[in-house]
Amino acid sequence: MRVWAERALRGAAFALLAWAMWRVAAANTVGRAVSLEGATVDASWPRLLSSSHDAAHLTIANGLPADSTRDVLAAFAHAGVRMTWSGPSVSAVALSVERVREPDQSLLMRVAGPGRVVVRDAASMLDSAADASGGITVVSAGPQGMLRAVGSSATASVPPPAAMRMRTILVLGRASWETKFTVAALEEQGWTVESRVPVAPGTAVTTGARQPLDTAHYAAVVAIDSAAAELAAAIVPFVRSGGGLVLLADAARLSAFTAVTPANVGARQSSAKRSFDATAPLASLNRTPLTLRDDAVSLDSSGTAVTVAARRERAGRVAVVGYDELWRWRLEGGDDAVVAHRRWWSRTVGAVAAGAGPATNASEGAPVARWIDALGGSVARAPSGAPSVPLPQWLLPVLCIILLAEWGSRRTRGAR
């Protein structure tokens, strides 16, 4: 009986050793890895589909593969193929696109990414930056098709946002050159402008068919001076419901606008320049010092003096301008003064105008994050070809116990 037990233990020990050897041998013949190259990964699908591979390693050389490739690799991973990848460090490129709230509705593209980034549309390159890590801004009037920011290892793309309906600007001011040339600048820049210019008690020169002062009809009101007092009671609710308001200093002094103005205005100061300097037109203008409210921000400044400030007033925005007689810039400035004056006014009004469309961010964006989510982080190097097949931890102790029991039994009965 004891001899039979010893024989059984020896048989069990041999059986366990044979099972362990079979397992190692099976791992060497079945579980092999396949190596893929990023540029030709699609052509490798047949090899990967072969049942003899249960691991794959992708080496990326030039940028992440396409999203479709990423999804197929993720599917393999979910099906049990052990996916790893390596390559130069890949970094995300962020792209945000919105329409400028001005009549030409140019596209404002904000791009950030490491190293050189090229911004392009379907037709051509729009701009590039040697280092966009700090973010760059690109403005383009008429890009075609999908917009892309192409970095060294990633691409972000978005379609251009839909065009906005630009509403009318209402200009209120006395009969003055400032009123006249403000209207002219905005009209020449493409805005639809209505104006109301009182010229005598009970008499005003008006242009346009006056509509109710609401955001369905008007994008913003430009209040040049005290002539705005007549409509001040309607302007404040208009702003609070989402409209824009640009106050020149004389209008900002009106008590009706005290609650909404971004800055307190001081007494007008003469320019330090004795005559108009065409090379520094804004510095040649007289100014009104602005003292910002706590919730206001500076949009423009000259030295330490704030010259344009803005703040939100509920759903709307208000800007106050500290420059006096801006029309002199157009008349007395340099060769580009007419264009510069137009653009300044358009930009200032656009900064507060109602009707902004939302920014469009790279919706397929975060391609690097999606890649890592699907396939994990990169590995330092490709894993060795044969996957390790660990033997069960219980195998060695059990084997030792069996052999000790068999050896002990034989020794205690005097056998060798």
Partner 1 sequence: MSADFTFCTVQYDSGDWDSAPLVPANLIDSVARYTSIRVAPTGVSVPLGSRDIFRYPLAYLTGHLPVRFTDLERRTLREYCDRGGLLFVDDHNHDVDGVFHKTCTDEIARAVGPMKELSNAHPLFNSFFTFEDGPPATSHELNGWGDNLIHKHLQAVLHGDRIAVLYSNKDYSSEWGYHPDNKRFMSVDNTKFGVNVVVYALTR
Contacts with partner 1, residue ranges (CB under 8 A): 174-177, 179-181, 184, 195, 197-201, 203, 205, 207, 276, 327-328, 330-332, 337-338
Distance between CA 192 and CA 173 in Å, rounded? Answer: 17
Identify the three-state secondary structure at position 97: strand
Closest CA to 349 of 186, 226, 119, 126: 186
Residue 201 vs 390, nearer CB to partner 1 = 201
What's the min distance (Å) between Cβ of 184 and partner 1?
6
Closest CA to 235 of 209, 208, 215, 262: 215
CA dihedral 321, 324, 330, 332 (to 10 degrees): -150
Residue 327 vs 371, nearer CB to partner 1 = 327
What's the min distance (Å) between Cβ of 269 and partner 1?
14
What's the min distance (Å) between Cβ of 278 and partner 1?
9
156: phi then psi, degrees, rounded to nearest 5: -115, 140
Residue 83 vs 185, nearer CB to partner 1 = 185
Q: Are 173 and 149 in contact (CB under 8 A)?
A: no
Closest CA to 263 of 218, 301, 303: 301
176 Cβ contact list (under 8 Å, min separation 6): 224, 225
Residue 45 vs 177, nearer CB to partner 1 = 177
What's the min distance (Å) between Cβ of 176 and partner 1?
4
What's the min distance (Å) between Cβ of 303 and partner 1?
25
Residue 174 vs 343, nearer CB to partner 1 = 174
What's the min distance (Å) between Cβ of 340 and partner 1?
12
Torsion sign, CA atoms 48, 49, 52, 54: positive
Q: Are 283 and 305 in contact (CB under 8 A)?
A: no
What's the min distance (Å) between Cβ of 199 and partner 1?
5
Residue 262 vs 333, nearer CB to partner 1 = 333
Environment class of 412 (CB within 10 Å of its CB; exposed 0-12, middle 13-18, buried 19+) = exposed
Residue 158 vs 197, nearer CB to partner 1 = 197
